[in-house]
Amino acid sequence: MREAKQKCPGLVLVRADFQKYLRFSRLARKIYADYTNQIEPFGIDEAWLDVTGTEQIFGTGQDIANQIRQRLQDELGLTGSVGVSYNKIFAKLGSDMNKPNATTVITADNFQDKVWPLPVGELLYVGRSTRRKFQNRAIYTIGDLANRDIQSLRLLLGIWGETLHGFANGFDLEPVRLTGESSIIKSVGNSTTTPRDLVNNQDVKLIIYVLAESVAARLRKHGFKCKTISISVRGNDLISFERQGKLSGPTFLSNDIANKAMELFKTNYRWETPIRSLGVRGSDLVTADRHVQLDLFDNSNLDAEILASTVDTLHKRFGHYSVQRCAMLLDRHLTGFNPEQDHVIHPISYFK
């Protein structure tokens, strides 16, 4: 923004209203639900829908796409770009081709004409680094990738090269999940882009405790404890890193999670730049009711677990903000968000 204001001194900056963004995202998904129960979100403002078998009710995929775009405009005042195809990769690609308000149809008969001439970087999961590797091998378009020998792509990117080759040729067969369907849980985490830059350890500690409370509550909800804690940190220069460390024993307590996260942060960050984004994740999961050796003379963890379950009950009955740490009052602008409900909206992995 600083560079933008240097180029355009009269630039007017308007603060984003995240809550409104989230509300309209939910309203849009209610519209989708009128057409199918197979709705798989891909971030806050994108989703895949499988409308197979609804032709007799709503018409073709293109008809449904046009109906959804019209309803978004009439009911929510939003424009929408929709891709219609026989697989998720090409549907996503089509939704990006003619923004901001169009329906793009990619079929098994026309994809070579529509998709292959596009730059290879337009393909899902071809990021900046992968694109550079491809360009060094004279792979500039999706068609170049589709027609390249699989063995050479394996040598370049391993199994990932073969996967992207399949994407380029339309071989993607991943189904759209049913609404509410979830994959096997391998880790539980939350991250957030902070409302202002974090400039000291106290700022970081506040955010980590908010995130740790969410991670701990979700672990308890699903009946897990974690044995490893990971943090992700991104500075305002957009350079990021991740670190992880083992706990002394399995836990679903926010204090244990937050303390380990802070330990990892202090060990690995030198405050060369302010921080813009933080994440905390618990992994290496075990079931919460597994047999654990108890200390005959110290039941503090057991007492803390009972207290945590009580707080969960209060949150369920009276809302997320009914019981909070006193530290959360130190900076309400910084800590006044519910990461479990409001911030688990970053694009999920395409792979299950």
Rounded to whole angstroms, how far apart are CA atoms 332 and 15? 17
**pLDDT score, position 94:** 96
Contact 102, 81 (CB under 8 A): yes
- pLDDT value, residue 293: 55
- Report the candidate in 132, 113, 96 with the shortest Cα–Cα distance to residue 170: 113
Q: Which residue(s) pair with 85 in the sheet?
A: 106
The whole-model pTM stands at 0.59
How many C-beta atoms surround the C-beta of residue 189 within 10 A? 20
Question: How many Cβ atoms are within 10 Å of 272's Cβ, its own excluded?
Answer: 8
Tokens 């926010």 correspond to 254
Question: Which residues participate in catalysis according to the annotation?
Answer: 46
In three-state secondary structure terms, 260 is helix
Distance CA 318, CA 306 (A): 18
Give backbone dihedrals phi and psi of 284, rounded to 5 degrees, phi first: 55, 60
Question: Nearest-CA neighbor of 258 among 302, 226, 287, 236?
Answer: 226
Question: Going residue by residue through the chain (352 aa), what tens digit of pLDDT does each one get?
Answer: 888 888 999 999 888 787 788 889 999 999 999 999 999 888 788 999 999 989 899 999 999 999 999 999 999 999 999 999 999 999 999 999 998 999 999 999 999 999 999 999 999 989 888 999 999 999 999 999 999 999 999 999 988 899 999 999 999 888 887 766 555 567 888 888 888 889 999 999 999 988 998 899 888 888 888 999 999 999 888 788 899 999 988 998 888 999 999 999 999 999 989 998 899 999 988 887 654 555 555 555 666 777 777 777 766 676 666 667 776 666 666 766 666 554 443 334 555 5
Residue from 256, 265, 246, 260 nearest 202 by CA: 265
